[in-house]
Amino acid sequence: MKDFIFSLFFGLTVAIAHAAPGHVHGEARMEISVDREQLVVALEIPLDSLLGFERAPRNASEREAVQGMATKLKDAGKVLMPSAAALCTSTGVALDSPVLGGKSEPGGHNDIDARYTWRCAKSEALREIAAGLFADFPRLQRITVEFAGPQGQRAGRLDARNPRFSW
C-alpha cells in the first residue's frame, strides 16, 4: 500500500511539473539570459494583455492598435531598461505574431513573441532589468521571470508596483 501511495504521489507530481504554463490574460513570461557581454530577453505575451483582442484586426481602428503596439514594443529602451552602469546598447528587436501580418491562428488565443538583445560594455555592472511595459499596456498585470547568467539561475515576478528584476 505504501508503494502504491508513493507511486500515485510521484506520478501526480511529475504530471504537474511537466504541465506547460497556460495562456493567461494579463500575464506574460520573460526569459533573461546573460552570456559575457550579451543580454538577451525573450517575452511571450497574450495579445489580449496588449490589445484587448487576440484575433486578426477587423477594422481600421484595430489595425491602428496593432501598429501602435508594434511601434511601442520595438522601442527597446522603453520596454526594458538594463542597469545603466552596464552601458548596454540595443543590438536587435524581433517581434513575431500572426496579427502583425493581419492574420490570426485558429483557437483565438494568440500571443506576441518578442526578443531583445543588447551588448553591454560593462557586463559586470549588469545587475537588473526594469520593465516599462506596465505604463503602456495597463491590461498587463504580471510578468513571470526566469533568469540564467553567470550569477546562476533565478525566478521572480514583476508587476506595476515592482517592475524591476534583480540578480
Whole-angstrom Cα distance, residue 141 to residue 10? 33
Phi, psi for 118 (deg, rounded to 5): -135, 155
Tell me phi and psi for residue 108, to 5 degrees: 75, 5
Q: Rounded to two decimals, what is the model's pTM? A: 0.84
Q: Which residues pair with 129 in a beta bridge?
A: 82, 165
Tens of pLDDT, residue by residue over 50-95, are: 999 988 899 999 999 999 999 999 999 999 999 999 999 999 999 9
> How much is the pLDDT for 26?
87
What integer pLDDT is reported at residue 109 of this predicted model? 75
pLDDT at 6 over 60: no
Contact 147, 153 (CB under 8 A): yes
Percent of the chain with pLDDT over 70: 84
